Amino acid sequence: MNLKVKEIFYSLQGEGGRQGEASIFIRLSGCNLKCDFCDTDFSGGETMELTQILSVIRQYPCRWIIWTGGEPALQLTEEVIVFFEREGYSQAIESNGHYLLSNLLNYTVISPKGNPDYAKKINPSVDEVRLPVKKGDAIPGFGRLPKAKYYFLSPVFTDDILVTKENIDYCVEQVKQMPGWRLSLQIHKLINIE
């Protein structure tokens, strides 16, 4: 079994419900969307066998894998999840919710883009919903989203510090008006780590 991998790195989870935890990030190539605010290069990459990936991640003391992308659900199968589970790894996914996520995963995060109703229909229950938000974006009601343990508004960071600040301020006000949401800042960008 092979996966097309953009990069593998070891860092801290920078946002959401597992923020601050050591994690091995496996960024899979490809995405089904072209979001204007995307800050990730998920094109290209290297085709790797699962045993090659395992040999890379064994160097790290951590036992948490975060499957990310692009859209990792384009490639991530239950066969892959079981392989790494048998090797002793817990696994999370960060997905846009366009594809059904395996219940074998230990932690599921979706960031619905555009109309959130599709995500609720495909994945009615997840661990975390994390919405990337720019100033002025409409925040959907909870009834339009999958059932989740956590609901986060994540301000979109840009190269323009003033626009980023406006996005953060907007999210803070939205959380204050709709207390079921929580604020999730991208601390990896604030402290300049990968």
Give residue limits of the domains in the chain: 2-190
The topology (CATH level 3) of 2-190 is TIM Barrel (3.20.20)
Predicted confidence (pLDDT) at residue 42 exceeds the cutoff of 90 = no
Candidates 50, 104, 101, 103; CA nearest to 74 is: 101
Name the CA radius of gyration of the chain, rounded: 16
The C-alpha atoms of residue 8 and residue 176 are separated, in whole angstroms, by: 37
Q: How many CB atoms lie within 10 A of CB 12?
A: 17
Question: Mind listing the pLDDT tens digit for each residue in 137-157?
Answer: 999 999 999 999 999 999 998
Residue 59's identity, in one-letter code, is: Q
The whole-model pTM stands at: 0.90
Average pLDDT (80-102) is 96
Question: Mind listing the pLDDT tens digit for each residue in 153-176?
Answer: 999 988 899 999 999 999 999 999
- What pLDDT was estimated at residue 37? 61
